[in-house]
């Protein structure tokens, strides 16, 4: 029996050892910046592919069998509504009419907006022209793929990727494989008022690998040391050129490492490094058998 989500499926009867691991990849980390080069960001490629309908996002579970609609995907990328959209400075008590019919900001009527605009403006000195894609009534999907446009986070804002992979030792080939199963896009905590990481969507790595191969001009792992040796994202992940730390290893209680250590981040980080060493030692032991 084969795993349908594997890029290089290995039959179960040929697996001497298998361990499922979750890793967190921070794209702002120095080693990972090659996946986040200017205008060649891996998150930009993925988000634009969803907008074009080339790949499908999935709900945030490990089974990868429940698709998410494109509308829901971009809804999760929308900026937080902090209220006060009509009045960006909040309610300053200007609701009571003044003697001259103004609005409390020195405007004497005549359809102005209180910022010196004589009508139809946006409150920032615009006289009501159709300038600027931010205000246009075009497709929201185009805006989401291209940039923030008042409504959506930029692809460069999505700086965390959770990688789910199986570590498999193939007894026939006598080789250890890192079989990536999925990527999960995550918005970092500093972008949210809750101060928590926000999961956007999960993608089958098998679909992403096909996307990377199909767009060699965009899926570029940037080599800052030798510009003649840029690589495709798919090759870069196959060569393990990324940096990530273990956040979870499959266990009976389905707990992340930080949960096992009662939300103590320092102890969880030390445990993550220890698990990394144990996996390396396990690989060595498998070669001894």
Kindly report, residue by residue over 15-65, the tens digit of the pLDDT: 999 999 999 999 999 999 999 999 999 999 999 999 999 999 999 888 899
Average pLDDT, the chain: 83
Distances (CA, A) of 188 to 89, 153, 259: 26, 11, 19
Query: Please, which residues have CB within 8 angstroms of residue 124's CB and are 6 or more apart in sequence?
Result: 115
> So where are the chain's domains?
12-73+142-253
> What band does 150 get if pLDDT is binned at 50, 70 and 90?
low
Please state, in angstroms and rounded to a whole number, the distance separating the CA atoms of residues 286 and 279: 11
Predicted TM-score (pTM) of this structure: 0.76
How does pLDDT run across 152-182, given as a tens digit for each residue? 999 999 999 999 999 999 999 989 999 999 9
pLDDT at residue number 82 = 58
With 0-12 / 13-18 / 19 or more C-beta atoms within 10 angstroms meaning exposed / middle / buried, residue 226 is: exposed
**Torsion from C-alpha of 244, 245, 249, 254, nearest 10 degrees:** -100
Mean pLDDT of 246-266: 93
């Amino acid at each position: 029996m084969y795993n349908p989500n594997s890029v290089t499926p290995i039959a179960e009867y040929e697996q001497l050892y298998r361990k499922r691991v979750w890793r967190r990849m921070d794209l702002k980390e120095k080693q990972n910046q090659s996946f986040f080069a200017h205008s060649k960001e891996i998150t930009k490629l993925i988000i634009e592919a969803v907008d074009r309908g080339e790949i499908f996002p999935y709900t945030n579970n490990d089974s990868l069998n429940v698709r998410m609609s494109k509308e829901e995907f971009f809804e999760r990328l929308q900026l937080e509504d902090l209220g006060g959209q009509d009045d960006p400075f909040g309610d300053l008590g200007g609701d009571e009419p003044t003697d001259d019919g103004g609005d409390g900001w020195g405007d004497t009527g005549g359809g102005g907006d209180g910022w010196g605009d004589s009508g139809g403006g946006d409150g920032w000195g615009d006289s009501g022209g159709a300038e600027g894609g931010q205000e246009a009534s075009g497709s929201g999907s185009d805006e989401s793929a291209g940039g923030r446009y008042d409504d959506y986070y930029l692809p460069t804002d999505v700086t965390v990727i959770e990688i789910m992979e199986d570590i498999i030792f193939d007894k026939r080939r006598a080789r250890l494989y890192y079989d990536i199963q999925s990527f999960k896009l995550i918005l970092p905590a500093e972008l949210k008022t809750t101060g928590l990481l926000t999961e956007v969507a999960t993608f089958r790595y098998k679909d992403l690998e096909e996307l990377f191969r199909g767009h060699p001009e965009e899926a570029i792992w940037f080599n800052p040391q030798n510009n003649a040796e840029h690589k495709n994202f798919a090759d870069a992940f196959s060569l393990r050129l990324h940096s990530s730390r273990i956040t979870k290893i499959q266990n009976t209680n389905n707990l992340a490492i930080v949960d096992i250590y009662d939300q103590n981040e320092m102890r969880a980080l030390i445990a993550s490094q220890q698990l990394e060493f144990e996996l390396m030692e396990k690989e060595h032991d498998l070669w001894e058998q």
